[in-house]
């Protein structure tokens, strides 16, 4: 008896007959009683864990399938017609959340020019405002560069030269 494989939305993807291998998708689909199924299934599970990480994209992707592109250092998703980048890794930058603030770090920048912070301030004169701050390497504020006044909806900025 053949297996009928359906997508999440109920559409029939393919039928896999007994004792056969079906390569309709990026995974190998196995028919009932296929000899040697264990290795193929184990490989399929590893491919899922690594998001098909390879320098070439999967050849038979399904809409919504993820692929880790090691060349671009980016996660991509198949939209039905093309691979679209949905995330990336930048080797010289770091993004963290510390005490409710977004801290951006560029380790290749000069000392005391590597860190920026975006946060809602609870300190005068910026209480309740979204502030953008240049930080020293020790996380002390070097300069409050820009702030958003949520009451008057004004963006304000401070420019200083050293």
Nearest-CA neighbor of 160 among 134, 121, 137?
A: 134
N-to-C CA span, the chain = 78
pLDDT of residue 144: 85
Contact 141, 116 (CB under 8 A): no
pLDDT of residue 45: 95
Cα 94 from Cα 116, distance rounded (Å): 11
pLDDT of residue 38: 95
Tens of pLDDT along the chain (162 residues)? 999 999 999 999 999 999 999 999 999 999 999 999 999 999 999 999 999 999 999 999 999 999 999 988 888 999 999 999 886 555 545 777 777 788 888 888 889 888 889 998 888 888 888 889 999 999 999 988 888 876 776 677 665 544
Long-range CB pairs of 51-60, under 8 A, 24+ apart, other chains included: 51/75, 52/26, 57/83, 58/26, 59/26, 60/23, 60/24, 60/25, 60/26
pLDDT of residue 156: 72
pLDDT of residue 85: 87
Domain boundaries, the chain: 1-47, 50-89, 93-157
pLDDT of residue 50: 94
Which tokens in the block code for residue 97?
A: 């959340």
Full-model pTM: 0.55
Q: Following DSSP, what letter does each residue of 89-126 receive, concatenated? A: --TTEEEEEETTEEEEEETTSPTTSSEEEEEE--STTS
pLDDT of residue 87: 61
């Amino acid at each position: 008896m053949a297996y009928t494989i359906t997508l999440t939305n109920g559409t029939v993807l393919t039928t896999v007959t007994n004792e056969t291998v079906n390569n309709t998708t990026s995974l190998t689909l196995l028919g009932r009683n296929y000899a040697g199924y264990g290795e193929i299934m184990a490989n399929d599970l590893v491919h899922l864990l690594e998001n098909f990480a390879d320098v070439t994209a999967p050849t038979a992707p399904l809409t919504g399938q993820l692929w880790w592109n090691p060349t671009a250092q980016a996660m991509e998703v198949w939209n039905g017609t093309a691979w679209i980048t949905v995330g990336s890794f930048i080797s010289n930058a770091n993004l963290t959340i510390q005490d409710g603030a977004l801290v951006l770090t560029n380790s290749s920048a000069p000392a005391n020019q590597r860190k920026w912070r975006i946060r809602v301030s609870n300190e005068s004169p910026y209480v309740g405002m979204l502030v953008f701050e240049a930080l020293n390497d020790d996380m002390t504020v070097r300069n409050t560069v820009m702030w958003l006044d949520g009451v008057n909806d004004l963006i304000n900025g401070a420019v200083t030269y050293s």
